[in-house]
Amino acid sequence: MSLQAIALVGLGGAAGSIARYLLAGWTMAAAGPQKFPLGTFAVNIAGCLVAGLLAGLAERHPGWLSPDLRLLLFVGLLGGFTTFSAFGLETAHLLRRGDGLLAAGYAGGSVVLGIAAVWLGLRLAGPP
C-alpha cells in the first residue's frame, strides 16, 4: 500500500461520509417523522445504484477507470458513503458468476450474523 493509495481512499472516504450525512439528513427532513430508517435506506440504495453503474461502465469500457480512480471511487467514496454498496456489488458478482448458493450464503450470513453481532455488542456493553 502506497501513501498515494491511502490518501486517495481517505479523500474519497471523507467525501463519501459527507455525502452520506447530507443525503440521509435531507431524506429524513423531506419525509418528516417516521419509524422506518429512511435516511439509511436511501443511502444504501443510492450507493448500490452508483456502484452498479460504475462497475458496469468499467466492464464495458476497459481502461476507463484507472486503478487509482477505482480506489478513490469504490473503496474511498462509496466505502465512506455506504459499505452496503460493496455488499450488493459482491453479491451480484457471485450471482453473475453462477454461484447462487454462495451468493445466498453470503447475503444471508451477512445480514443474520451482522444483526447477531450488533445484538452481542449491545449485550456486552451492559444494560442501558
Q: How far apart are CA 86 and CA 100, in angstroms?
A: 17
- Looking at the chain, how many residues does it have? 128
**R_g over Cα of the chain:** 17
Binding site residue list for Na(+): 79, 82
What is the rounded distance in angstroms from the CA atom of residue 72 to the CA atom of residue 50?
14
Residues making up the annotated binding site are: 79, 82
